[in-house]
Amino acid sequence: MEISKKVILTGHFGVGKTSLVQQFVKQKFSESYLTTIGVKVDKKQVDVDGAKVNLILWDLAGESSAIKVPKSYLLGTQGIIYVFDVSREETFAYLDDDLLELKKSMLEVPHVILGNKSDLMNEEDLASIKSKVPHEVAFTSAKENTNVEEAFLNLTKMML
Amino acid sequence: MNLNELKLAYFKRRSQIVVFDHDGIVLESCNTLSSISNGINLFEEIPFMQGLQHEIAKLRIGEPVIYNCIHTSVFDYQSFFDFIIRKVEDGDDVKWVWLIYDFHEQYENILELQQQRNVSHLQKTSLQKVNKNLVEEIETLERINEGLKTSGSSNILIKSDNQLINVDMKDVLFFEAFGDYVKIHTSKQVHVNYNRIKNIETKLPEDQFVRVHRSYIVRIDKIENIEQSSLQIGDKIIPIGQSFKSSLLDRLEQL
Ligand SMILES: Nc1nc2c(ncn2[C@@H]2O[C@H](COP(=O)(O)OP(=O)(O)OP(=O)(O)O)[C@@H](O)[C@H]2O)c(=O)[nH]1
Ligand SMILES: [Mg+2]
């Protein structure tokens, strides 16, 4: 049986949302930055515990401060991936407010928080970020393909 | 062609109307942008539509849901679209109408503007970060140097080529301004330090060094000879600035 799940990716601009999708869907990475406007919709089928799940990935344009997502984009969302950039503190300083805002617009849906660009930091810095962010965070690197597939599969399992 | 037709001509070429039923099955399509056959299931074939089935079913009659700036493909047609989905009554039946507008050109322009905004913001924050690190380093060095000065040491710590170097003031021949940097010429080598010559001047023991030019501070006991408008240290001729001349002569007289 096939199931479809709509997932949105959100977070500040330049944190690597599009790069994570690109790595996950096409196993590609590009150093150059091309911003997303509106939303880019992509699809990838995954196999989780014997179930075929079509992940419909809504890769949203990032904001510079608080996350403002048009209501219609959120309709039918079943999972959220919130991405920040471990090398830019401004992208996780207001994580709490952003999450609250998202929760207000949607009923509680499963979410994962990803600290991306882990390749730019050492273990010590990552541990210090973990202690600063009062949520469960998984570190990823779209560049080096570290923990990317795991993060998407983890969310898929939470949605099933 | 009347004015209204003329106005709408652009949209006719750039838009498409698709009518579908509760299960997402296509009943009709005008196929201007993408060829969609009747009987196709949109909830299975169009990524954008997947996952939206329940939300679309819940719409009230006539109430539209509007999606701006969706970058995706409708079958083999990839572009930036605006979508409007509306539930309509057709006799006893209800149907859904999906309006597709292709706004590729318009959104490409917005993309360019947003790209410029984001890139300049990222450059600004990364420069601020570099600057903050440099300022912190300078402050630390100044604290250490202040300590050395009060302990009577003749050494100074400077950062050059990412290394901390302990320079003995007795070895210094002269300092030379070089853009945002200062070159420290010693008898053995030249160090380059991110600093301002004005800042260096305040740190040096007054009885040993003198400013002779906007860009030069020299160690007094290394001066070999002085002419009208220059002096010599080793084989280097250093200019004497007009405004620094009298203070230099005063200092030499005191010796
Ligand atoms: N070093 C490193 N760079 C990355 C990584 N992921 C993304 N980048 C770079 O970061 C920049 C921004 O990446 P995007 O994926 O476009 O960021 P985004 O979050 O989609 O940005 P918006 O669409 O503007 O919201 C690009 O130059 C990428 O090459 C990573 O894991 N490590
Ligand atoms: Mg993007």
Per-residue pLDDT reduced to its tens digit, A86-104: 999 889 988 888 888 888 8
Q: Considering only CA atoms, which residue is closest to atom 13 of ligand 1?
A: A16
Q: Has residue A68 got a pLDDT over 90?
A: no
Q: Has residue A148 got a pLDDT over 80?
A: yes
Per-residue pLDDT reduced to its tens digit, A2-21: 789 999 999 999 999 999 99
Q: What is the 3-state secondary structure (H, E, C) of chain B?
A: CCHHHHHHHHHHHHEEEEEECCCCEEEEECCCCCCCCCCCEHHHHCHHHCCCHHHHHHCCECCEEEEEEEEEEECCEEEEEEEEEEEEEECCEEEEEEEEEECHHHHHHHHHHHHHHHHHHHHHHHHHHHHHHHHHHHHHHHHHHHHHHHCCCCEEEEEECCEEEEEEHHHEEEEEEECCEEEEEECCCEEEEECCHHHHHHHCCCCCEEEEECCEEEEHHHCCEECCCEEEECCEEEECCHHHHHHHHHHHHHC
Query: Are B118 and A6 inside 8 Å of each other by CB?
Result: no
C-beta separation of A56 from A44 below 8 A? no
Q: Has residue A159 got a pLDDT over 90?
A: yes
pLDDT for res A93 = 87
Query: Are B51 and A14 inside 8 Å of each other by CB?
Result: no
pTM above 0.90, yes or no: no
The beta-carbon neighbor of B118 closest among A4, A14, A77 is: A14
pLDDT digits (tens), chain B, 255 positions: 566 666 666 666 789 999 999 999 999 999 888 899 999 999 999 999 988 888 899 999 988 999 999 999 998 889 999 999 999 998 889 999 999 999 998 899 889 999 999 999 889 888 888 888 888 888 888 887 777 666 666 777 787 777 788 888 888 999 999 888 899 999 888 998 888 888 888 888 888 899 999 999 999 999 998 888 999 998 899 999 998 988 888 888 776
Q: Considering only CA atoms, which residue is closest to atom 30 of ligand 1?
A: A117
Distances (CA, A) of B43 to B23, B47, B48, B195: 8, 8, 8, 64
pLDDT for res A91 = 92
pLDDT for res B211 = 93
Residues forming beta bridges with residue B84, ordered by sequence position: B66, B99
Chain A contact set for B55 (CB, 8 A): 75-76
* A122-A24-A151-A94 Cα dihedral, nearest 10 degrees: 70
pLDDT for res B152 = 63
Query: Can you list the pairs that A25-34 forms with residues at least 24 positions away whose Cβ atoms lie under 8 Å?
Result: A25/A57, A27/A145, A29/A142, A29/A143, A29/A145, A31/A143, A33/B118, A33/B119, A33/B122, A34/B115
The beta-carbon neighbor of B70 closest among A6, A33, A39 is: A39
pLDDT for res B9 = 62
C-beta separation of B194 from B181 below 8 A? yes
Q: Has residue A140 got a pLDDT over 90?
A: yes
- Cα–Cα distance between A1 and A53 in angstroms, integer? 9
Query: Are A39 and B111 inside 8 Å of each other by CB?
Result: no
Strands (E), A11-136: 39-48, 51-60, 79-85, 111-116
Distances (CA, A) of B98 to A72, B64, B80, B94: 15, 10, 16, 13
- The mean pLDDT of A106-134, rounded to a whole number, is 91
pLDDT for res B7 = 64
- Give this complex's ipTM: 0.87
Mean pLDDT, chain A, rounded, equals 91
pLDDT for res A10 = 93
